[in-house]
Amino acid sequence: MQDIEPFEGWYPLYDSSKDRQNPLYGETYDLSRYSSAIYGYYIHPLWDYIGSETLYIKILYVDYKRGFAILELFGEWNDTLHNDVMHLKRNIIDAQLAEGISDFILIGENVFNFHGSDDCYYEEWMEEVEDGWIAALEFREHVHAEWRKFNIDSYFNYGNHLEFSNWRTYSPIRLWEAVTARLEKRLPGF
């Protein structure tokens, strides 16, 4: 697990640790020392701690003018034991909503499991994006199945129409435009 790094291809375009509007502003990274762990397995030091023992993130890009953010997630999304969505919502998403972000792209190819609970934070998040959306890209099928089991799927846009296995080849703005275009085709009145 320590070898899985967040995507760094957009780093020249955006660095969350240098963005004063970002909740992770001022973070420092010691690449010579691995100190964070999930279930006893060290993880790469570039992943950002959000208050959860099992879910870490990297804010890859934020565009305040267009109102979107792209977040990469890592680990186990465990609402049952750790209420991970509460940590994500309160420590990251609320700050971004306050800055006018209404479109969220969550990249989950490194989310290995999901354990659900109630949906109150998801419902709150969806209500607060108003005319925006939450798109979940590249999450594993067994994670999708768990979302459906806990009715979380009604808050996220995901599935075959949002397959972007080559998302790293896009610029952040182009990825947001492509996701928006696909959602407009699927959602009447969008």
Q: Are strands 133-137 and 103-115 parallel, antiparallel or unpaired?
A: parallel
Q: Is residue 12 part of a domain?
A: no
Point out the residues of the chain with pLDDT beneath 50.
Answer: 189-190
Is 112 inside a domain boundary? Answer: yes
0.85 surpassed by pTM: yes
Residue 120 CB-density burial (10 A; 0-12 exposed, 13-18 middle, 19+ buried): exposed
Structural domain contains residue 62? yes
pLDDT at 187: 56
Tally the domains of the chain.
1
* Domain assignment of residue 136, given as a range: 32-185
Could you tell me the CATH number of the domain that includes residue 161? 3.30.750.24
Tell me if 178 is assigned to some domain: yes
Query: According to the model, what pLDDT value does residue 159 have?
Result: 85
Token pair listed for 77: 């999304």
- C-alpha neighbours within 13 Å on the C-beta side of residue 48: 23
- In the beta sheet, which residues pair with residue 75? 55, 111
Tell whether 142 is covered by a domain.
Answer: yes
Question: Is 22 inside any structural domain?
Answer: no
